[in-house]
Structure 1
């Protein structure tokens, strides 16, 4: 757009455009003044500015009122379209109809969220929003925040202690831990004591291949230590390994409750107190009023309701 047009647009404002549309509609300055709560003098000043900006007379005085020129009639659809667009912005987003939507929603989630939330979410979508599709990308926490910032994903699921003011968080649920192992494991069979817990071989799930996690921090604070013999990056393979293994694992409770039976595992609360953590649905602030994202968050909340 040229600097000349910029200068012209700076001379226009919403009131001037409303007056133009009103004069097209009514053809009488007095009616427009009454409709907009303005004085006749304000209408005259606005009409003078419109004529200077558009370099056209725009409205000709006739015995019955003001008659739009051909130029005024030619630009009226564009002016009305601009007013309609602004009206829509002021009203806000329209309601989202999941039953009629064919939207594709992009999530960021790791295997814990995929294994605990996504199956139930898909079951809900099958009933209430059969046209919606999902794709899921596995990100680190830092990369998930970057993906939200870049607009590469619509929603991120997980534990995000380092989120910023750019992100809006909804807590879906509070998660704790359970110890799981094959049903005849001595730790479960003979009693889940702290002594047997420390004596067992432990399987750790760690995305960065470390050999220590939150449990080890809790134990270290008490001057205790367990023996981690294997670290793997994914939860479901970890559960599969435990079925025929002497190892035990301390894993998020929702995951264990949902999937232990299929791997013929049993479980019990840990003999130490491990802090809980929150599972969040995280969106960028630009989507605060996005009706589709708000609906999706409500669906996720309903899973744990």
Structure 2
């Protein structure tokens, strides 16, 4: 490759394509929206850089040399890719898309978000798939920044940096669960009952449980913890077969009553409500696929 070739201004390549297809410098100028002198100057720069006349006058107008012809196909391909992949904005059509979305979900998100979301996708975006992940705070932040995670949905108090956007979906609270045959009756526990009972406690990756733990710490309340587990799914069966008490996010507790012989009962403290939100990184704020997924979740879950 000659030294001059390394100085080629790639911004001038559309001039070669326009002249090759129009067979005329003046018509190429009209097509490009340039003045004719500007096109002539650009052509002279290309000739100097490539050491080739590129076009010569023939009976049918400006005829490309072999060097110009060698540039036409790749130039056309490059410009078409830019138009389709960049300037078109990456239009997302859910009806035909085969995109795989990765969503970081808290414990509540798994039970409240996924069922309705998957039902919607099966109907409106049948080839779209979802991967649900539960990660620690730092991994969630890194995943959103790097694009490995599309959205984080649920209770994520760490996603407050200015590079993250968020949208509130709905408010939530906590509820306690007892064996449906437990001798304690009524709709709310007394503090004496709460302290006397043995407790099952979930120590999961999700952050929502810490809200209830912080409330107990604030009031200096110490439970008698009989079971500590990182998993939610064993809890309804444990509560249904013991006299233990567990306190979980309301949606989780409500779901558990449908699969085991347990019932809801309010804890003795007024538990503050907390917001569930969807979070995304600033880099993907205008991404068509990400925008579509956010709009679906907002449509399904905003209050």
TM-score over 0.5 for the alignment? yes
Q: Secondary structure at the match of 1:236?
A: coil
| Equivalent residue, structure 2, for 1:12 | 10
Pairing partner for 1:247 from 244, 247, 272: 244
Q: Which runs of no fewer than 5 residues in structure 1 stay unpaired?
A: none
Over residues 244-273 of structure 1, what are the superposed CA-to-partner deviations in whole Å (9 max), with x where a residue is unaligned?
A: 222222211111222223212221443323
How far off its partner does 1:48 sit? 0.8
Q: Secondary structure at the match of 1:203?
A: strand
1:274 is the counterpart of 2:274: no
TM-score, length basis structure 2: 0.82
Q: Secondary structure at the match of 2:48?
A: helix
Asked if 1 retains the 8 angstrom alpha-carbon contact of 2:186 and 2:265, the reply is: no
2: distance between equivalents of 1:73 and 1:3?
A: 19
Asked if 2 retains the 8 angstrom alpha-carbon contact of 1:178 and 1:270, the reply is: yes
How far off its partner does 1:168 sit? 4.0
How many corresponding residue pairs? 297
106-115 or 258-267, which moves further after superposition?
106-115
| Equivalent residue, structure 2, for 1:31 | 27
TM-score, length basis structure 1: 0.82
Asked if 2 retains the 8 angstrom alpha-carbon contact of 1:156 and 1:283, the reply is: yes
**Closer, same or farther in 2 for the Cα pair 1:157/1:6, shift >3 Å?**
farther
176-185 or 131-140, which moves further after superposition?
131-140
RMSD, aligned α-carbons: 3.1
| Equivalent residue, structure 2, for 1:144 | 140
| Equivalent residue, structure 1, for 2:230 | 233
| Equivalent residue, structure 2, for 1:132 | 128
Over residues 67-110 of structure 1, what are the superposed CA-to-partner deviations in whole Å (9 max), with x where a residue is unaligned?
A: 222321221121122222222312211232x3333343334335
Asked if 1 retains the 8 angstrom alpha-carbon contact of 2:100 and 2:131, the reply is: yes
Pairing partner for 1:116 from 105, 112, 116: 112
2: distance between equivalents of 1:147 and 1:5?
A: 44
| Equivalent residue, structure 2, for 1:76 | 72
Q: Which runs of no fewer than 5 residues in structure 2 stay unpaired?
A: none
